[in-house]
Amino acid sequence: MPPASSTTEENKEFAIDYVMEKASGPHFSGLRLGDGLLSAVSPSSSPRAPPIPTPSSATDSAKQPFVIGVSGGTASGKTTVCDMIIQQLHDHRVVLVNQDSFYRGLTPEELKRVSEYNFDHPDAFDTEQLLECVDKLKSGHSVQVPIYDFKTHQRCSDSFRQVNASDVIILEGILVFHDQRVRNLMNMKVFVDTDADVRLARRIRRDTVERGRDINSVLEQYAKFVKPAFDDFVLPSKKYADVIIPRGGENHVAVDLIVQHIRTKLGQHDLCKIYPNVYVIQSTFQIRGMHTLIRDRDISKHDFVFYSDRLIRLVVEHGLGHLPFTEMQVVTPTGSVYTGVDFCKKLCGVSIVRSGESMENALRACCKGIKIGKILIHRDGDNGKQLIYEKLPKDISERHVLLLDPVLATGNSANQAIDLLIQKGVPESYIIFLNLISAPEGIHCVSKRFPSVKIVTSEIDVALNEEYRVIPGITDLNVEPYDEDQGTGELRYVQMAVTTYDTSLPVSQRYDNGKVQVTLVWNSRNENSPSSEKLNALANFLWRNGGPRRKSNLIHSVWANFQTSSSNIIFGNRWRHLFGERDFWEHVGGIDVSLAPSGFGQANTKAFDSLLHKLQKYVPYGAAVVDLYAGAGVIGLSLAAARRCRSVKCVEVNKESKHSFEKTVERLPSNLECNISWHHADASVEPISWLVGSEVVVVDPPRKGLEPSLADALQALSSVKPNSKLSGSPFLNDKDEKRPWILRARESSVQYGTRSVAPEEDQQLLPETLIYVSCGWQSFKEDCRFLLANKTWHLHKAHGFNFFPGTQSIEILAVFKRGPGTSTKKKKPGKKKRRPSRGEFTEK
């Protein structure tokens, strides 16, 4: 401990005592009272070294998945155990990554001597790619896992298995414990232990039936490679397992215990999963309420001290629970013997001056007569040199130490204090660091350097701001979720769309550096509601912590939508752009599309792109198209580009979509000879006027299906006779139009192309093709039944698209042709098949 150069040996102790005395006094949980308001201690008032850079996970708000490694001998039942875990965790997102997928493809020379190749050696696997895939999954990114063909001993070059980010990752394989780098990625390691004879029988059955091998080659391979590899590599890795399951999948009790442990871990804070030495006291409404009070800038000094002391005492009690104990028996007043435990005798507290002294009263209240030392980290001048002063018990090396500091921010001061205690002879595992509020940066900093030091805190906040002050979490904003049954609350929905980084990149890479467009659907008519302050606070919180000023910079923009309807319609008609860029670009249907949340867009762009390419095949080249329920005109504009349509009319009731439509048109090919128009209008009002003049009608209605007036107009097309009075849309053609809703629609319309009015021959056209894109199966069935009733239309083709994997929601693309249609199927002569009775199953 270096003394100041100007201090003599005689005055040194006096100087230290003077500094310690001046540093003492009333202090409140690492926070200071100034000008009547509460604020966190600034870096200048609490000297610390320059902040240590932390990994992106320190500030990343994404949830850290729980990684389980499952190993064991060949055919030991690893897959069965994994399936049982997945089934019991059905309410969580769980993915299985099999080590077998990462076999290296054999070279031509190795294929010639495939019987001599050892598939059970660690070198047979591409461990580097395995590490890369798991690391991406842990970071919240989806990956493409290779598919290995065990018959050809090669990877399938044209197909991969898409694995998305999840809550739980199960990594299964015979050698997943062999490489330390792979083991370090796991939160739990499970070894499935099964009798060797049982494993051999299972392997013979699997390799002969599923992998097309000869039984002799299976036995030869087992004796030559599998058994020796098990003894050399698999069995020795058993010592790394946290849990050993005898009998594999037959051991239901062991699997149940594992699942129970996983559920407990999933309920913990992410940092508790990463660092087993971090403990957060269980949150209750009482604890949340006290945190709310001490964070309130208008709280009185008396209340602040009172509620801070209550919280500090809870942290101290929790920390004392981590001390060692000895069993002890006492005789009760009734004469019976009670077996309990005796408290740890060798104990002391050490407070980091100044703020740590605010925790001393709580420690003394819990531990009668406890010795308390002090450590002061003082900055000497402006050169950043740290002088550490201490007053510690002489026998501190023999004691367990409760280190006190109410706020763990960067962790640099804590690291220096812990380092000093270790220099004084205190074992690292004897130190318990108690604090009231922690930032992820501080936990990373301390836990990485001192993994055996236990950290006990009451709450982990989101991060540090630019001034190294702890930022409260989003729950401190007191935003009330919307209750659909009661109709109360403020936040109805949160829509998040991942933006593309570059639309020219392949789909697998397009979103790697993308950001999130956030829309907050607020339960009010407009931004002037009484709860607008909470909305602004929530939007500011998201932008401040995820916007361009943060290293993570995850958020592209923040929007607000105002909705008070009691129906299941997500968005209202009023939008407000709060932060960031207005829109972003996506590439679907062969064109770049500008998307803002106010213009409806499909969530699964890959599936939507497939639907658009299929849809385009049913539109003749050079056709005249009208796109009803058009939104930002994505379907109509993709047809204009792909099918070189001579005209495309897009009709949409949401005026907010106009901006996205205009920006998309700017990126269409310059040589496109097409009359393109967008109209702010309700297609259900005078629908015939929109249908006349087009050969193809595209409808993409909401979940409730077609408006009755539009469905009637489509059914009545057979009786419509195009004439001068009816032809074309009054929204464009009739100069004497007086109706106000049509005049307003004209003002909002936009026109691109060389002709403002369609030629006379086009004005006499009636649709011959109806393309129906449906997101509601029940409403589609009713509309389909209605359209086919009088044989004005017949169903030509229908396709299904799974826009939401894991659900039963299917998007339907149906193509109708005008006229009754003729059946192209011929009945084959033969015996009539018996209709299966109820309960029977027939496989097609």
Residue ranges for the known binding site for S-adenosyl-L-methionine are 602, 629, 652, 700
Contacts of 135 (CB under 8 A, 6+ apart): 185
d(CA 403, CA 415): 11
Q: Cα torsion for 563, 564, 568, 571, to the nearest 10°?
A: -10
Q: From the CB of residue 641, how many other CB atoms can be counted at a distance below 10 Å?
A: 18
Q: From the CB of residue 245, how many other CB atoms can be counted at a distance below 10 Å?
A: 25
DSSP codes, 778-841: HHHHHHHHHHHHTSSEEEEEEEEE-SSTTSS--EEEEEEEES-------PPPSPPPPPPPTT--
3-state SS assignment for residue 428: helix
Q: From the CB of residue 787, how many other CB atoms can be counted at a distance below 10 Å?
A: 21
Amino acid at 165: A
Q: Quick one: tokens of 735?
A: 């100069």
State how far the alpha carbon of 812 is from the alpha carbons of 639, 650, 703, 772, 797, in Å: 18, 21, 12, 8, 11
d(CA 56, CA 672): 46
Check residue 115 and report its DSSP letter.
G
d(CA 604, CA 804): 7
User: How many C-alpha atoms does 842 have within 13 Å on its Cβ side?
Assistant: 7
Contacts of 143 (CB under 8 A, 6+ apart): 133, 136, 137, 162, 163
3-state SS assignment for residue 40: strand
Check residue 623 and report its DSSP letter.
-
Q: Quick one: tokens of 357?
A: 């002294």
Angle, alpha carbons 93-96-101 (nearest 5°): 150
Catalytic residue among 445, 650, 674, 775: 775
Q: Cα torsion for 56, 58, 63, 68, to the nearest 10°?
A: 90
Exposure pattern of 133-156 as b/e (b: 16+ CB <10 Å)?
Answer: bbebbbebeebebbebeeeebebe
E strands in 141-265: 143-149, 154-163, 168-172, 188-193, 243-246
Contacts of 174 (CB under 8 A, 6+ apart): 71, 72, 73, 74, 78, 99, 120, 229, 230, 233, 234
Beta bridge partners of 247: none
Contacts of 654 (CB under 8 A, 6+ apart): 573, 598, 599, 600, 631
Q: From the CB of residue 725, how many other CB atoms can be counted at a distance below 10 Å?
A: 6
Is 775 a catalytic site residue?
Answer: yes
Peptide bond into 746 cis (omega under 30): no
Beta bridge partners of 698: 627, 771
d(CA 545, CA 660): 28
Beta bridge partners of 676: 648, 752
Amino acid at 237: S
Beta bridge partners of 594: 585
DSSP codes, 152-182: TTEEEEEEEEEE---SEEEEE-TTTTTSHHH
Q: Cα torsion for 231, 234, 235, 238, to the nearest 10°?
A: 170
Catalytic annotation, residues? 775
